[in-house]
Chains A and B, each alone.
Chain A
Amino acid sequence: MSVLAYLLLAFLTIVNIFLFLSRRGRRRDSNQDGDGTGLGMSIPFGWDPLDSELSARIFDPEDADFVANETSRPNARQFRQERTVLALDWLRAIRYHVNQLIRAHLRAARGNAGLKPADEIRLGFEFLLFQLTSGILYLVIWACGPPRAAKLVGYSLELAGQLRKVTEDVLPAGRQVAVELMNNKQEPRG
């Protein structure tokens, strides 16, 4: 019986590996250079102010408040749901653009003899940070809806700003103390 169980487990593992490999192969085939340049320079990376305005509008509570005041509760709920879907689409679009940018960078860098592994790893961390930020935002928008998510982001940024200010206020004092300590050490002992 145990022999049969192990055989079944091994068979399932092999089938899984094959499925994974075939899916990966198909995905990579579809990821070939879209524009043929390998750089993906068609990506609109100069963030359009109109886009900024539109995206800011998605998160603005004004529209949601207006709909909530003027229409019935089911309509307001439907509006909130549609705004959430829109916000998530917007976030997905940005992630897609950044992914394309990184892919284009890797394709350009792979043949470059001047590549510096440490810098590539640092860039990898930047990308990871972006993915982390956007992933958290995705969850927050999905869970709370765009206006509340925006409030939360505003609050977090404000808090981060205050923390930075506090750190900046503390640091010079710290340096001063260090300088004083060093000066004391250099003074001849009487």
Chain B
Amino acid sequence: MLSSLFWVTGLVLESVLLVRALLGNLLKYYSLFYLYLISVLLRSASLFAIYHLWPNFYSPAYWFTQFLNVLLGCALVWEVYKVALARYLGAARMARNVLAFLFILAITRIFVKAWNSPNWIPGRTTLETERDLRIVQLALLIGLVSLFASYAIPLGRNLKGIIYGYGLFIATSVAHLTLRDYLGDSFQRAWQYIQPICYLVVLVMWCATLWSYAPIPQPTNEPRLEADYESLLATTKSKVQSARSYLLRAMRP
């Protein structure tokens, strides 16, 4: 009964989000995010029907559609990168390198694991496969958010909501899939309630931040865009080095 209530509440909130997006013309700005949301809504609605009408088909339908959602989640991370760094070419270049590195690292980990365990692909369990893909997403998202933080990239209310909401969702998914492996059924019983509550929190967060379009704030005074990067780098480097030597020189007896 309670789980059905969570399910229906989720469907209502997802519908509200899509209606607000249509009214506020948000689809134009965050098309991949709304594509993801539409797929989640369709999936939830169809799974709800399957669960009540043909319960035997629920499990295969769940896992098949889940992987489609994971792939669309990757597209969402890509959109965050594209939208947030559209005006910051330097930070975008840095992000491409860092993300490529993280992606290769994460994928290599999966392949090494697959190589060592012949039964791994399509998965000893589908749960493990999904967890690995979620970890890749989480690593990419953490890398991206770290870059945003270090380069002080202004994000705006909409984008912040998407990142924090999706970040929370993936983090809880990874935690769930990992703990499920270790703790077994006793944890799964608790998780039946925890996961929908977490997802509802994410949806509420999205409703609050994506209620209307909020443009990404522009920096009031973009510093030295035309400046030569080499000279900028050389100046900063020499100042950091001189600060370090100053520290030691001042302390020398």
Question: Which A residues form the contact surface with B (CB < 8 A)?
Answer: 2-7, 10, 13-14, 17, 21, 28, 31, 33, 36-39, 45, 47, 52, 55-56, 59-61, 91, 94, 97-98, 101-117, 119-120, 122-123, 126-127, 129-130, 133-134, 137, 146-147, 149-151, 153-154, 157
Given contact pairs A109-B232, A115-B94, A126-B240, A7 touches B247 in the complex (Cβ within 8 A): no
Find residues 221-252 in chain B having any chain A CB closer than 8 Å to their own CB: 221-225, 227-230, 232-233, 236-237, 239-244, 246-252
Separation of A138 and B233 alpha carbons in the complex (Å): 27
Separation of A80 and B222 alpha carbons in the complex (Å): 46
Once the chains bind, are B194 and A110 in contact (CB under 8 Å)? no
Once the chains bind, are B152 and A28 in contact (CB under 8 Å)? yes
Show 14 residue pairs from A and B whose CB-CB distance is below 8 angstroms, ordered by the A residue: A10-B172, A14-B168, A33-B220, A55-B250, A60-B253, A109-B233, A110-B91, A111-B89, A111-B90, A112-B90, A123-B236, A147-B253, A149-B251, A153-B248
B148: shortest Cβ distance to chain A, in Å? Answer: 10
- The interface on chain B, measured as residues whose beta carbon lies within 8 A of the other chain's beta carbons, has a size of 58
Most interface-central of A39, A91, A97, A110 (chain B CB within 10 A) = A110
B102: shortest Cβ distance to chain A, in Å? Answer: 13
Once the chains bind, are B201 and A94 in contact (CB under 8 Å)? no
Is there a chain A Cβ closer than 8 Å to B88's Cβ? Answer: yes
A158: shortest Cβ distance to chain B, in Å? Answer: 10
Chain A residues near B246 (CB-CB < 8 A): 47, 52, 94
Question: Which B residues form the contact surface with A (CB < 8 A)?
Answer: 87-91, 93-94, 97-98, 149-153, 164, 168, 171-172, 175, 186-187, 189-191, 193-194, 197-198, 201, 219-225, 227-230, 232-233, 236-237, 239-244, 246-253
Chain A: CB-nearest residue to B171: A17
Once the chains bind, are B89 and A101 in contact (CB under 8 Å)? no
Once the chains bind, are A150 and B251 in contact (CB under 8 Å)? yes
Separation of A61 and B250 alpha carbons in the complex (Å): 13
